[in-house]
Amino acid sequence: MGRIVVKFGGTSVGDVERIENAADKVVAEVKRGNSVAVVVSAMSGVTNQLVEYCRKISPMYDAREYDAVVSSGENITSGLMAIALQKRGIAARSWQGWQVQIMCNDVHGKARIEDIDAEAMNARLDAGEVAVLAGFQGVTSKNRIATLGRGGSDTTAVALAAALGADRCDIYTDVNGVYTTDPRIVPRARKLDKISYEEMLEMASLGAKVLQTRSVEMAMKQNVPLQVLSTFEEAIGSDYPGTLVTKEEDIMEKQVVNGIAYNVDEAKVTLLNVPDVPGAAAKVFGPLSDANVNVDMIVQNISQNELVTDMTFTVPKQELDRTLEVVGNIKELEGTEIRYDKNVVKVSVVGIGMRSHAGVAQTMFNALAEKGINIQVISTSEIKISVLVSAEYKELAVRTLHAAYGLEADE
C-alpha cells in the first residue's frame, strides 16, 4: 500500500460534474489499496473573479485582505470534494490551510510555505480516511491567511507530499502530461514520458504554466516524484499514464533541447542616457530589489561617448508601475529617459544536453532570422537560452524553434 497525494487543478474541478469525476479517480486509487490525500484548486475562473473584485474596490488593496478573499475559492472545492467522496462511501474530510497547519511567511500574495505540521492529518490517513486539503493557502505566524502565488496549489500538493513522506504526487490537469512546448500553441508538440527536475524547473520558470515553479523547486529539493496527467482520460495515476518529473540519472535519453517555453508576463524597460560611471547598475537595481521587483533579463550597451550609456531590462508586467516609480525617483538618473514596452514575449529553449553541445544558440538565431523575427534581448544559463521578441511573433517564434530543434511528434 502506498501513500499518494493527488492534486486537481481548476479545470478539473470546474463544475459539480467534474468534481464528481475527480472523486471517482480518488476512489479508484483507494480501491488499489492506496492511502490518499487530495489537494484541490478553486473551480476554474473563480480565483480570477475574486482577484477582480479586490482590484475593483481598490487597486491599492491590503494584501492580507486580498489573501483572505482569494483563498476562499479553494475552501469551496475542498468541502465539495469531501461531500463527493462521502457520497461514494469513502470516509473523508476537508482541511483548510490553517487547520493543518500549513505555516507560511507573511509575504502576502506570494507567500512561501515554511513548515507543515502533518501529524493530525497523518493520523487520520493512517485510520483510512481521505484528507482533502484546500490548495494555494496557508497561515502566517501572525495568524493571517496567506496565499502562495498564482498556480500555488501545485506547491501545496508537493509540500504536503514531502510532509507526509508520500511515495508520489500526481498533478491532474487538463493536458495529459508535460509536452515539448505548450500543446495549445503547437498541436504537434510531443508528450514527454520523463523530464528531469532541472529541465522542468527551467521550463516552469520560463513560462510553462503546467507546474508552478516553486512546486518543482520543492519536489527537486525534497526528492518527491511528480507525475503530470490528465483528469479527463480513463487511466489513474497508479497506471503511470502521464509525464514523470524525476532525477536526471533516471533519464536514459538526454536530448540537447527538450522544450520551448514562452512568457508574455514580462515588460521591457529601457533607460536612455544613464551616467556611465562605476556603480551605475547598482544605483538602478539596488532600489528595485529593495522594492521586491524581480528583474529578469538585463543588457547594458557599450557607451557611445563614455559619459552616458543605455540599459534594458525586463520585469513582471504586474510590477511595471512600481518599477517606473522606483526608477523615476532615483536622483542619480535625473537626465535619464525611461521607456517601456509591454508588447514583448520571452521565448526560451531548454535542455540539459546544452551543457555539452555547442551550436544551440546559433540554431536559434538562424531560425528566428529566417522568419524575420528581430531579437531585442538575449540571456543564457547553463541549460537555457532566452530571447525577447515582439509579442506579435509569439506563436511564430515558438513554432519555428520547436521545428528547428526537431521536437515535433511524428504525424
Nearer residue to ligand ASP within complex by CB, 173 or 400: 173
Nearer residue to ligand ASP within complex by CB, 77 or 180: 77
Tell me which of Mg ion, ligand ADP, ligand ASP, none is bound by residue 34, counting a contact when its beta carbon lies within the kind-specific cut-off of 5 to 8 angstroms.
Answer: none
Q: Does residue 182 touch ligand ADP according to CB under 6 A?
A: yes
Is-contact 203 220, C-beta < 8 A? no
Q: Which of residues 73-132 bind ligand ASP (CB under 6 A)?
A: 73
Interface with ligand ASP (CB under 6 A), residue total 13
Tell me which of Mg ion, ligand ASP, ligand ADP, none is bound by residue 351, counting a contact when its beta carbon lies within the kind-specific cut-off of 5 to 8 angstroms.
Answer: none
Is-contact 134 77, C-beta < 8 A? yes
Phi-psi region of 354 (alpha: psi -120 to 50; beta: other; left: phi over 0): alpha
| Least gap, CB of 111 to ligand ASP (angstroms) | 13
Which of the stretches 150-158, 265-273, 329-337, 379-387 binds ligand ASP when contact is defined by CB under 6 A? Answer: 150-158
DSSP string over 51-82: HHHHHHH-TT--HHHHHHHHTHHHHHHHHHHH
Which of the stretches 41-49, 313-321, 323-331, 351-359 binds ligand ASP when contact is defined by CB under 6 A? Answer: 41-49
Nearer residue to ligand ASP within complex by CB, 158 or 244: 158
Nearer residue to ligand ADP within complex by CB, 10 or 97: 10
Q: Which helix (H) or strand (E) holds 286?
A: helix 280-290
Q: Does residue 138 touch ligand ASP according to CB under 6 A?
A: no
Task: Give the CA distances from residue 271 to residues 280, 298, 311, 331, 387, in Å, rounded to whole numbers and listed in that order.
Answer: 12, 11, 5, 14, 19
Nearer residue to ligand ADP within complex by CB, 163 or 171: 171
DSSP state of 129: P
Q: Does residue 10 touch ligand ADP according to CB under 6 A?
A: yes
Phi, psi angles (nearest 5°) of residue 165: 65, 40
Neighbours of 28 (CB within 10 A): 17
Q: Which residues pair with 299 in a beta bridge?
A: 312
The span from the CA of 50 to the CA of 42, in Å, is 11
Q: Which of residues 243-262 bind ligand ADP (CB under 6 A)?
A: 259
Tell me which of ligand ASP, ligand ADP, Mg ion, none is bound by residue 220, counting a contact when its beta carbon lies within the kind-specific cut-off of 5 to 8 angstroms.
Answer: none
Is the peptide bond prior to 101 cis by the omega test (within 30 degrees of 0)? yes
The span from the CA of 403 to the CA of 186, in Å, is 10
Site mask, ligand ADP, residues 58-97, x = CB under 6 A? ----------------------------------------
Q: Does residue 47 touch ligand ASP according to CB under 6 A?
A: yes
| Least gap, CB of 9 to ligand ASP (angstroms) | 6
Q: Does residue 42 touch ligand ASP according to CB under 6 A?
A: yes
Total length of the chain? 411
Nearer residue to ligand ASP within complex by CB, 37 or 333: 37
Site mask, ligand ADP, residues 132-161, x = CB under 6 A? -------------------x----------
| Least gap, CB of 176 to ligand ADP (angstroms) | 9
Tell me which of ligand ASP, Mg ion, ligand ADP, none is bound by residue 98, counting a contact when its beta carbon lies within the kind-specific cut-off of 5 to 8 angstroms.
Answer: none
The span from the CA of 99 to the CA of 124, in Å, is 13
The packing angle between helices 153-164 and 213-222, to 10°, is 10
The span from the CA of 51 to the CA of 42, in Å, is 12
Q: Does residue 32 touch ligand ASP according to CB under 6 A?
A: no
Looking from the CA of 295 toward its CB, the CA atoms found within 13 Å total 21
What does the block give as the cell for 331? Answer: 536622483
Task: State the first-to-last Cα distance of the chain, in angstroms, to the nearest integer.
Answer: 40
Interface contacts to ligand ADP, rule CB under 6 A: 9-12, 41, 151, 173-175, 178-179, 181-184, 208-210, 259
Interface contacts to ligand ASP, rule CB under 6 A: 9-10, 41-42, 47, 73, 135-136, 150-154
